[in-house]
């Protein structure tokens, strides 16, 4: 039976190439190149809260890094180093082998070095801290959106939420028991589950938006909730054209319009980038979309706001009327489901 240190060594210890000192000392030591700032972010994933207890460990290893890479992307930073802390109910080697394989598959793809962490017994919890480099003048911040900015969205939202609905659908007593299985093809269902369990961080997009976008955020809590963070930080309000929102084929197939809208606007776990840029950047953004072969869609505009209007999001239907959603986003501690507060 391997002990804690042997387990860590076997699956997570690799000699650092870039850091001065990696896994295995009290601290890791790293250098930040002159002119660059260190961008750092951390996310904690808890079994039963962020993922179902039986989730494929390979995908979980990927996702635990992906959600952090997504934060670096939203900041336009170059991924460099990561710390990984794990609480595990038992020293399950098969689980660790698959989890670490998934983690490394994404770490290697983005040239991220694992330089430290912690391992302990406890309810399955994964805490990753990620570090990257960015020239602070080009870092994309939430508080730098401007009056008149165009609001852009990468890819599309809602598939991850639909994937989650599919998983819940397969549990007895669920809200919409069996309804989804009937309308989605196997391929669509697989695609939605992949979006949920193995999201693609938009790292290259973030780096390409340096000097192009004014602000950015990654969509983890849902489009409306995360847009709300940008608006609050920048003191603005927004108009969104609902007809402009890109809609994945699987989502189009859902007959329930309320569910469809909820997935699109408040689903969360999308890890797309929501960014704002002045109108004059439109051509450059379209060039970036072409170069990365990633759809970038204009979905609205931002406007000056004062007082109560700060954070207001108006959702325009094609006929000119306004849509009033019931859910704004995911809040781990909200008591009522619309706790985030309706903004209009």
Q: Per CB under 8 A, which of residues 123..182 are in contact with a second copy?
A: 123, 125, 127, 129, 131-132, 134, 136, 139, 141-143
Find the helix packing angle between 93-109 and 4-12, rounded to 10°. 40
d(CA 186, CA 286): 33
Range 214-253, binding a second copy (CB under 8 A): 216-218, 233
User: Minimum distance between the CB of residue 81 and a second copy, rounded to whole angstroms?
Assistant: 8
d(CA 68, CA 129): 7
- 139 with 97: CB under 8 angstroms? no
Range 35-94, binding a second copy (CB under 8 A): 37-44, 46-50, 70-72, 74-75, 77, 83, 85-88, 90-91
| Contact flag: residue 28 with a second copy (CB under 8 A) | yes
- Please report, in angstroms and rounded to a whole number, the separation of the first and last CA atoms in the chain: 59
Pick 112 or 192: Cβ nearer a second copy? 112
User: Minimum distance between the CB of residue 52 and a second copy, rounded to whole angstroms?
Assistant: 14
Pick 139 or 231: Cβ nearer a second copy? 139
User: Minimum distance between the CB of residue 63 and a second copy, rounded to whole angstroms?
Assistant: 15
User: Minimum distance between the CB of residue 171 and a second copy, rounded to whole angstroms?
Assistant: 19
d(CA 290, CA 120): 45
Q: Which stretch binds a second copy (CB under 8 A): 3-11, 187-195, 250-258, 319-327?
A: 3-11
Show the tokens assigned to 90.
């038992």
Pick 118 or 287: Cβ nearer a second copy? 118
Pick 7 or 166: Cβ nearer a second copy? 7
* Strands 150-154 and 215-218, bridge-based pairing: unpaired
| Contact flag: residue 23 with a second copy (CB under 8 A) | no
Separation of CA 187 from chain center: 23
User: Minimum distance between the CB of residue 159 and a second copy, rounded to whole angstroms?
Assistant: 21
Distances (CA, A) of 231 to 137, 313, 328: 21, 9, 14
d(CA 301, CA 4): 52
Pick from 5, 170, 211, 317: which binds a second copy (CB under 8 A)?
5
Residue 94 CB contacts under 8 Å (≥ 6 apart), including other chains: none
Pick 41 or 276: Cβ nearer a second copy? 41
| Contact flag: residue 265 with a second copy (CB under 8 A) | no
d(CA 34, CA 229): 31
């Amino acid at each position: 039976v391997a002990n804690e240190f042997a387990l860590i060594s076997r699956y997570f210890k690799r000699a650092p190439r870039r850091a001065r000192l990696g896994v295995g000392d009290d601290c890791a030591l790293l250098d930040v190149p002159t002119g660059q700032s260190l961008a750092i972010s951390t996310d904690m994933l808890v079994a039963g809260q962020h993922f179902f207890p039986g989730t494929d460990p390979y995908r979980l290893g990927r996702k635990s890094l992906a959600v952090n890479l997504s934060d670096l992307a939203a900041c336009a930073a170059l991924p460099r180093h990561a710390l990984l802390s794990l609480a595990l109910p038992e020293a399950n080697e098969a689980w660790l082998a698959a989890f670490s394989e998934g983690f490394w598959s994404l770490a290697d793809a983005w040239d991220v070095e694992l330089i430290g962490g912690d391992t302990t017994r406890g309810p399955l919890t994964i805490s990753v801290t990620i570090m990257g480099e960015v020239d602070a003048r080009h870092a994309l911040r939430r508080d730098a959106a401007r009056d008149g900015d165009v609001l852009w969205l990468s890819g599309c939202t809602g598939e991850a939420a639909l994937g989650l609905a599919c998983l819940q659908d397969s549990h007895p007593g669920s809200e919409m028991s069996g309804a989804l299985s009937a309308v989605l093809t196997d391929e669509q269902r697989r695609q939605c589950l992949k979006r949920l369990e193995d999201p693609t961080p938009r790292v290259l997009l973030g780096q390409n938006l340096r000097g192009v976008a004014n602000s950015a955020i990654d969509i983890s809590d849902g489009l409306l909730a995360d847009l709300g963070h940008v608006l609050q930080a920048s003191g603005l309000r927004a108009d969104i054209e609902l007809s402009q929102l890109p809609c994945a084929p699987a989502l189009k197939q859902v007959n329930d319009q309320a569910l469809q809208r909820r997935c699109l606007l408040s689903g969360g776990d999308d890890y797309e980038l929501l960014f704002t840029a002045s109108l004059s950047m439109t051509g450059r953004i379209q060039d970036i979309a072409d170069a990365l072969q990633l759809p970038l869609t204009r979905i609205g505009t931002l406007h000056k706001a004062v007082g109560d209007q700060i954070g207001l999001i108006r959702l325009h239907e094609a006929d000119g009327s306004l849509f009033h959603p019931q859910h704004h986003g995911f809040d781990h501690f909200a008591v009522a489901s619309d706790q985030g507060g309706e903004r209009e």
